[in-house]
Amino acid sequence: MELNYPGSLRIPLLGLMLSTLAAAGGTPLAAGQSFIGPFNTVTPISSTVPANGDVNPYGVAQVPLTKGNLVEGRFLISNFNNIQNQQGTGTTIVQIAPDGTFSLFAWIDPSKVSCPGGIGLTTALVALRSGFVIVGSLPTVGGASSTAEAGCLIVLDSWGNVVETISGHHLNGPWDMTAVDGGDLVALFVTNVLNGTVAANGSVVNRGTVVRLLLGTFGDRPPQLFDSTVIASGFPERTDPTALVIGPTGVAFDWDSGILYVADSLNNRIAAVPNALFRFDSDNSPYTVSQGGKLNDPLGLALTPNHHLVEANGDDGNIVEINPQTGRQVAAKLVDNTPPAPLGAGALFGLIAVNDGVYFVDDDSNSFNLLH
């Protein structure tokens, strides 16, 4: 459901809602020394392959509260490929505990869900305090980039049942996502990679976007969409015969600064969108935080407990840490050394930083791992 307000009321009402979200933010932690610097061990936690054979794990989200089939502290992982390894056809989300306990959280039946193009679950995955789980879909037919369609966001309840889909509203190939979760009010930041991409047939188009969706989650009712605003645009994107599509990917929001950080893959940089929670216009040239160096096709992006950034490289097996205040790349760790060179290329995607290390998915081994 979408609620519409008279134009004269829209910005004041949304401003009040966004202020409520901002007030719900956590206590900021000061940036200190390197977060991943002391970590030198990679421990496999579990396979990510469910019974139906889906592969290519992409998104990672940690469950904030126990509800339904969700268990606090466990991790949800979305699969992008089916058993035939066709991209944009994965339909499952698995739940994995830090001790390796594995369960299927959801299998989404494409025939029963209204999503433009079908189902292909992306890195866009969040688990909310309300018990709802939201995942992006960028679907294809048989894994061909020429068939990719706009997709949608799929909302599941805490039992893994689809209760709602959100399409349109500036969504076009939702590729990654983060949430500012205030309980009853939630802001989603979603990167989109299909604005003119398929029609360009492999050529780069500078039309990738970040969309902010404002949702209300009241009780057990499906979330209500209040507003959709493009807050950043102009990111380069293109189809790719190996990766399906390359464009703006990981997003991480910092309560301390109000900045949304974006992994700008084709420009090989981390970009920043100031005032992301409150802006009502699009930043058409987000400034660069860090570029080049150890970055090598940045994909997944996460904020660390000390307010640094960690990103997963798509073209090698490194996780790189950046101090966003200075732009300095303070550490890099090789977490996948699968040959041939470059080692670990194409292996990494979603990741999440917690106090005891960095949990990440490995597409080469279809596994969930911990750098500690």
Model confidence pLDDT, tens digit, residues 103-113? 999 999 999 99
Residue 58 forms beta bridges with which residues?
Answer: none
CA–CA distance, 368 with 347 (Å, rounded to integer): 11
CA–CA distance, 24 with 191 (Å, rounded to integer): 24
The pLDDT value recorded for residue 98 is 98
CA–CA distance, 40 with 37 (Å, rounded to integer): 8
From first to last of its 372 residues, the chain has per-residue pLDDT tens of 444 444 444 555 566 566 666 665 544 444 568 999 999 999 999 999 999 999 999 999 999 999 999 999 999 999 999 999 999 999 999 999 999 999 999 999 999 999 999 999 999 999 999 999 999 999 999 999 999 999 999 999 999 999 999 999 999 999 999 999 999 999 999 999 999 999 999 999 999 999 999 999 888 899 999 999 999 999 999 999 889 999 999 999 999 999 999 999 999 999 999 999 999 999 999 999 999 999 999 999 999 999 999 999 999 999 999 999 999 999 999 999 999 889 999 999 999 999 999 999 999 999 999 999
**Closest of 156, 153, 152, 192 to residue 63, by C-alpha:** 156
**Closest of 309, 229, 201 to residue 264, by C-alpha:** 309
**Closest of 56, 80, 16 to residue 365, by C-alpha:** 56
- CA distance readout (Å), 286 to 169, 233, 264, 273, 276: 22, 8, 10, 5, 11
pTM of the model: 0.93
Q: Which residues fall within 8 angstroms of residue 93, CB to CB, at 6 or more apart?
A: 76, 77, 78, 79, 104, 105, 106, 108, 121, 125, 133, 135, 156, 160
Strands 298-303 and 309-313 come out as antiparallel
CA–CA distance, 349 with 360 (Å, rounded to integer): 7
Reported as a single tens digit per residue, the pLDDT across 205-255 is 999 999 999 999 888 899 999 999 999 999 999 999 889 999 999 999 999
Two tokens, residue 343: 């080692």
Domain boundaries, given as residue ranges, for the chain: 52-306
Q: Which CATH number is 52-306 given?
A: 2.120.10.30
Characterize 300-325 residue by residue with b for buried, 16 or more Cβ atoms within 10 angstroms of its Cβ, and e for exposed.
Answer: bbbbbeebbbbbbbbbbbbbbbbbbe
Q: Round the average pLDDT of the chain to a whole number and report it.
A: 93
CA–CA distance, 253 with 324 (Å, rounded to integer): 12
